[in-house]
Amino acid sequence: MNIEENIKSELLYVLKTKKLLGIKYIEKIDFTNKINSKLKLPENLEQLNEYVENCSLCELSKMNTGIHFGNGNIGSDLLIISLHNNFFDEKAFLNIQNMIENVLKIDLNDIYMTNILKCGMKVYKNNLDDEVHTCIHYLRKQIDLIKPTMIITFGKAFKYLLKNDDNILDASGNLFNYDGIDLIPLIDPKFIDKNPSYRDQMLLDLKKIKNIMDTK
């Protein structure tokens, strides 16, 4: 997305957000500040969830099959993030649940899990950049409110959080920093379900995560 397209996208985001809030007239918009400074999001998860449920800022809201705001223990130090509702519905994630619990020694219900795109989708687009640009502000606010000490991302989620274009197969298991929080990308469970030979890499990467957790 070039600069002009980015500005147009940010302008639409601001205008749609104001409309969502019932505002008909707005002040002059200054794009020298970050776009999410234009939007005052709720300061607790319950209100943020309600805000998301009423969101209609992008095309996904028109085909939404249900909001996937997050689930699990909001007091967890560990936060798992996927791009969309893949790991809430897919058999693929359930297939590695035992692997996660056996290696990390944490019940999955004790981990908070969420995703960047909150709207459920039956059909996935290949390019979700515009939708992510709109929706990622909700995720960043969730992270601010939950305050995890470690983030695990699945698949392409790390690309958007870190603005990193590395191939996930190369990035998986490596330690990154997100606003002072340890972030470790992992391969998408659905990919592993289709490519079982990568199961060993997932196990190794989870062991790296366990070692980091044990040193904290």
Question: What are the extents of the domains in the chain?
Answer: 65-215
Percent of the chain's residues with pLDDT above 70: 77
Please tell me which residue, 14 or 139, carries the higher pLDDT value: 139
**φ/ψ (deg, to 5) at 78:** -110, 130
Question: Does the pTM of the predicted model rise above 0.85?
Answer: no
Residues 192 and 187: their CA atoms lie apart, in Å, by 7
Residues 38, 43, 44, 48, Cα dihedral to 10°: -10
Q: What is the pLDDT of residue 150?
A: 97
Q: Strand pairing of 78-82 and 176-178?
A: unpaired
pLDDT in tens, 181-202: 999 999 998 888 889 999 999 9
Residues 130 and 4: their CA atoms lie apart, in Å, by 14
CATH 3.20.10.10 fits 65-215, yes or no: no
Of the spans 10-24, 38-52, 102-116, which averages the highest pLDDT? 102-116
With 60 as the cut, is the pLDDT of residue 88 above it?
no
Residues 6 or more apart whose CB falls under 8 angstroms from that of 128 comprise: 83, 84, 117
Distance of CA 31 to the CA centre of its chain: 25
Answer yes or no: are the C-beta atoms of 209 and 150 closer than 8 Å: yes
